[in-house]
Amino acid sequence: MSSASASGSRRGRPGRPRLLPQQHSGTPREQILDAAAGLFTSRGYAATSTREIADAVGIRQASLYYHFAGKGEILTELLGQTIRPTVDSVARIESLTDDPDTALYLLALIDVRTLAQAPYNIGWLYLAPDVAQVEGFEDFAAARDDLAATYARLAEPIAAPDVLALVTRARLGEMLVHAVEEVIGLRNAGQRIDVTEAVGIASSCLRLCGVDSARIELAMKTAETLLDQIDGTDPDGPIRG
């Protein structure tokens, strides 16, 4: 049997009865992810075992393996959740507006909200040396690189000539991703990311491109009318600390 078939068989079978009352909401897979996120962010990836994750959910350790091949697969799925909603929003953004200022602002704002609204600040783990060695991490790294390339593609038409004279298109995309990822550091320091902070970070992406204040203000107003039409975005959702 191929590994893919084995994996599909493993995940399709029911787990054993729970040892403890359910402590996390959602499907068993979602409960495992939620418990792991809490442990990874509070204790670190290396210091957390699959047994501890299973105990936090209230299932046997063996049952965890019906849903995930191991701790590394859990981690890479969590990391993917920090970037997937933003990536999935790109086509919708571009179908709703042909204004490049608004498109870039919307992408940045959705990215900020993806990072800020997650129950746990899992994004900070991707910089940990032990995490970079986890099998499957390269898929997350490639997705992040693709997102940076999308930022660069949207930014290039609006970037001021003096900005493009100083940095390459690829470097500009990376700078914009770093600007949004300020959310991770702020949350890790205990700072609440409220609506004002989210708008400020998204606006800073346009400023990095050399866009003037009047255009930024217009992009903000236009984006506000489009947010509720973008799948995966909750304009009234919580912004977390």
Q: Which amino acid makes up residue 31?
A: Q
Tell me: do 195 and 100 sit in the same domain: yes
**What is the Cα–Cα distance from 98 to 66, expressed in whole angstroms?**
45
Q: Which amino acid makes up residue 194?
A: D
Contact between 131 and 125 under an 8 Å Cβ cutoff? The reply is yes
Tell me: do 126 and 180 sit in the same domain: yes
Report the pLDDT value the prediction gives residue 239, as an integer from 0 to 100: 54
CA distances from 15 to 9, 11, 24, 74, 188 (A): 12, 9, 16, 17, 34
Tell me: do 145 and 194 sit in the same domain: yes
Residue by residue, DSSP assigns 103-141 as HHHHHHHHHHHHHHHSSS-GGGGGGSHHHHTSTTHHHHH
HSE toward the beta carbon, residue 177, CA cutoff 13 A: 23
Q: Which letter does DSSP use for residue 23 in this model?
A: -
CATH of the domain at 52: 1.10.10.60
Average pLDDT across each block of 10 residues of the chain; the chain has 241 residues. List them in order.
41 37 72 96 94 96 95 96 93 96 97 92 88 92 96 97 96 97 94 93 98 98 91 53 42
Contact between 88 and 212 under an 8 Å Cβ cutoff? The reply is no
Q: Point out the domain boundary residue: 49, 69, 89.
A: 69
Q: Is residue 187 part of a domain?
A: yes
pLDDT (tens digit per residue) in 171-202 = 999 999 999 999 999 999 999 899 999 999 99
**What is the Cα–Cα distance from 157 to 170, expressed in whole angstroms?**
14
Q: Is residue 74 part of a domain?
A: no
Tell me: do 133 and 162 sit in the same domain: yes
Tell me: do 106 and 183 sit in the same domain: yes
Report the pLDDT value the prediction gives residue 236, as an integer from 0 to 100: 53
What's the domain range around 10?
3-69
Matching residue, tokens 């009318």: 225
Chain centre to alpha carbon of residue 178: 13
Indicate the number of domains in the chain.
2
Q: Which amino acid makes up residue 177?
A: V
